[in-house]
Structure 1
Amino acid sequence: MLGLQDTPVTFTGGRVSGNTAAGTAPKGGGIYLGSSVGGTPALNLNGTTLSGNQTVGEQGQGAGIFDNSSSHSLNISNATIAQNLTSGDFSTGTAIYRTGSATSPLNISATTIDGNRATGAASQVAGVYNLGAGATFTNTAITNNRAPDFPAPGGLYTDSPIADGGGNSVTGNAPTNCTFSPVVPGFCSP
């Protein structure tokens, strides 16, 4: 697991895989990005693969990426976030779990988020879970992510609008793609 705090970091290429966060309410199996105290550092991932990471334990969040900062941006481009797992009851946001603010945007472009799973009773949103952060998605596919808790979505959950840069798709997720997300982007299939 990679833990970051208060420092802007850029990854180009590379792989973050096979990592585990375990215990009660485990967070960030692959990357854990904590709250920033000052400035506006960013995490930039370009051409990076996050796969095979997991959280093990109740209330797991962000087996791929966990980010709870309200003062920096998370920028992901040309990346693959696939086959990550949150295993434990009440887990959520397997690929990406993001809490933020309007000044800490989530920007995802030319990225595939595929085949992530949340298991355990009342677990939900195996794809992207976005709370409070403004977001822009461009040429991004969120597909084949699975969570057991109906009616919550398996693909994308957001309480903030997502700007559509074009070329996005949210398909093939279970139990739904975006249905019952507080905000359902226009590019999300029912």
Structure 2
Amino acid sequence: MSALRALAGAAAIATAATVVTAVPAAAHTSEHVRCRTSALIAAITKANAQGFGEFSLARGCVYDFTAPFSGDDATPPITVPVHIDGNGATLRRSTTANLFRLLEVATGGKATLSDLTIENGKVTGDGGGLLVQSGGTIHATSVLVKGNTAGNNGGGIENLGTLRFVRSRVADNSAAGSGGGISSESSASVISTSVEGNTAGRFFGGGVFNDSVITITRSSITGNRVTAGDGGGLWNNHRMTVDDSTIVDNTASDHGGGVTNAQLGRATFNRSTIAKNTAGLLAGGIYNVDSGSYLVLNRSSVTKNKAADAPGGVFNDVGDTVVNKHSPITGNRPTNCVGSPSPVAGCTG
């Protein structure tokens, strides 16, 4: 009997030895960043070193950068997943400082931003306020990108990676080249966001320049302009889908005051409004140009746009296609579609 008890005891010990107590994974805690530019630089540096960062900025603080951390950047390029709760803070280049942008997300970096203002960045190249490199990602909610300048493309934002802007504003930025507000050469989505008052000095897209795949949903593209080129509000030469949005009061010195769809671009507008835009030459509303471009208007209106020369509403070039699904094209000056080289379905006058 004692031998049986000994065996039972040994089995119990062996069983207990195999039991592993689960230890909860350590949770990331948000780090508070004092109202100093050096503190923010240190926080990003630390995040890059440890592979992750989560921090909140000082409430309402203006982080006023007087010099770049390195090269064209006020802060270290973000190379890892980083969450920044802005708490109403502003990242700003001092008006007396040399040229640099405020944030760059490098390959492998993923910046999640909220409640933050990016202001007065200025560079000779691309991305005056924000630059997303290939393989980088920015997800922004309640972010204002304001008053930034690029000597080339993307006055507010240059996107070469993945960009998602939600309930945000891109306002009063300028680019000497294309994309006064946003220049996107990779995947982008703009949701419930205002792109307003931006300027492209030459070429294309006062508000948004798209050379990849972009979706614009429940957003407003207003008061943007190109001073020497086409596409005052939007320029597309790849694939653009615009849902439940307004393109209003934009201006192009040349063509497409509201929208230019070019170079085999495929643009679809669903339940959207293109109105009161102005072109210095042709097509105050939409300029669909370069053989093979394809435009769909689905329950969208093109109204009250104007151009110096006919048509004022929609221009459809030779070899291009406009599909009209229950979309009125009316009240444009000097004509709605008369003067277009190719017919525009459902359009008269």
TM tier relative to shorter chain: 0.7 to 0.9
Structure 1 or 2: larger strand share? 2
Q: Distance in 2 between matches of 1:85 and 1:154?
A: 12
User: SS at 2:287's partner residue?
Assistant: strand
Matched, 1:4 2:162: no
- TM-superposed CA distance for 1:3, in Å, is 0.6
User: SS at 2:337's partner residue?
Assistant: coil
AA aligned to 2:206 is: G
CA contact (8 A) 1:93 1:127 kept: yes
User: SS at 1:157's partner residue?
Assistant: strand
Q: Distance in 2 between matches of 1:92 and 1:63?
A: 8
- TM-superposed CA distance for 1:133, in Å, is 1.3
Q: Distance in 2 between matches of 1:148 and 1:157?
A: 13
Unaligned stretches of 5+ in structure 2?
1-180
2:259 is aligned to 96
Higher relative contact order (Cα pairs below 8 Å, separated by 6+ residues): 1
1:143 is aligned to 303
| Match 2:311 to one of 153, 157, 164 | 153
Q: 1:12-49: per-residue Cα shift (whole Å, max 9, x none)?
A: 11100010112xx4321101123xxxxxx411111110
- TM-superposed CA distance for 1:55, in Å, is 1.3
Unaligned stretches of 5+ in structure 1?
35-40
2:267 is aligned to 106
Q: 1:140-166: per-residue Cα shift (whole Å, max 9, x none)?
A: 1000001112xx20100112222232x
The alpha-carbon distance between structure 1 residues 136 and 86, as it changes in their structure 2 partners (threshold 3 A), is closer
CA contact (8 A) 2:261 2:295 kept: no
1:37 is aligned to none
Listed as ranges, the matches of 1:1-190 within 5 Å are 1-5=181-185, 7-22=186-201, 25-34=202-211, 41-57=212-228, 60-67=229-236, 69=237, 72-87=238-253, 91-101=254-264, 104-119=265-280, 123-131=281-289, 132-149=292-309, 152-159=310-317, 160-165=320-325, 167-190=326-349
Q: Distance in 2 between matches of 1:136 and 1:56?
A: 27
Q: Distance in 1 between matches of 2:279 and 2:294?
A: 24
CA contact (8 A) 1:118 1:146 kept: yes
CA contact (8 A) 1:169 1:189 kept: no
Question: Cα RMSD between the aligned structures?
Answer: 1.5
AA aligned to 1:108 is: F
Pick the structure with greater CA Rg.
2
Q: Distance in 2 between matches of 1:125 and 1:136?
A: 16
Tell me how many residue pairs correspond in the alignment.
Answer: 165
Q: Distance in 2 between matches of 1:118 and 1:161?
A: 21
- TM-superposed CA distance for 1:188, in Å, is 1.0
Q: Distance in 1 between matches of 2:296 and 2:311?
A: 19
AA aligned to 1:128 is: I
AA aligned to 1:130 is: N
CA contact (8 A) 1:2 1:31 kept: yes
Structure 1 or 2: larger helix share? 2
Q: Once the two structures are aligned, what percentage of the paired residues are identical? A: 28
CA contact (8 A) 2:314 2:344 kept: no
